[in-house]
């Protein structure tokens, strides 16, 4: 498998709506060529009336159930798509609009999923954003781990982290 500058193959799930279909198809082909294990959650045909929640929620569900996998959800802006992914318990999804934000959401927030806006980027720009996300490891610095744990605890218990005393 030709890997280019990538360090390791990753299992990647991708979902979109009609606005993200073309970019999703491009990314599926590109990532497969790079040697990643890719699952296209859908849609598989253009339907201007489709909705993003079913595809993005299912993408996030698969990522959460498949430890070590990553996900990409794609729509016109990527905003609603990452919101939908974040509704899945255990999923941390961030909106990535640049290489740097893709890297930071992975490093600092330990995100497993990114939202990408197909109307915000060329295919080349979006590909660079996705590659940066897939190639970035989480940063296990205690401050990042502590913050992610606070979110996980809140999600599991409903108890918000205590505010610092003034």
Residue 125 is encoded by which pair of tokens? 């720009």
155 is a catalytic site residue: no
3-class DSSP state for residue 120? Answer: coil
Which of 6, 30, 108, 144 is labelled catalytic? 108
Query: CA 78 from chain center: how many Å?
Result: 10
165 is a catalytic site residue: no
Gap between the Cα atoms of 104 and 107, Å rounded: 5
Q: Which of 115, 65, 68 shows the shortest CA–CA distance to 93?
A: 115
3-class DSSP state for residue 2? Answer: coil
Which of 81, 110, 121, 131 is labelled catalytic? 81
Q: Which residues are catalytic?
A: 81, 108
């Amino acid at each position: 498998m030709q890997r280019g500058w990538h360090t390791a193959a990753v299992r990647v799930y991708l979902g979109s709506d009609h606005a993200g279909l073309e970019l999703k198809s491009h990314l599926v082909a590109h990532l497969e060529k790079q040697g990643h294990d890719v699952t296209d959650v859908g849609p598989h045909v253009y339907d201007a009336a489709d909705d993003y929640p079913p595809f993005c929620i299912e993408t996030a569900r698969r990522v959460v159930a498949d430890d070590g996998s990553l996900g990409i959800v794609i729509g016109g802006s990527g905003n609603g798509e990452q919101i939908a992914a974040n509704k899945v318990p255990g999923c941390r999804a961030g909106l990535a609009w640049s290489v740097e934000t893709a890297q930071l959401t992975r490093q600092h927030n330990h995100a497993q999923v990114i939202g990408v806006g197909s109307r915000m980027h060329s295919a080349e720009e979006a590909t660079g954003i996705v590659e940066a996300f897939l190639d970035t490891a989480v940063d296990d610095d205690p401050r990042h781990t502590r913050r992610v744990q606070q979110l996980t605890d809140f999600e599991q218990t409903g108890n918000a982290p205590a505010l610092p005393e003034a």
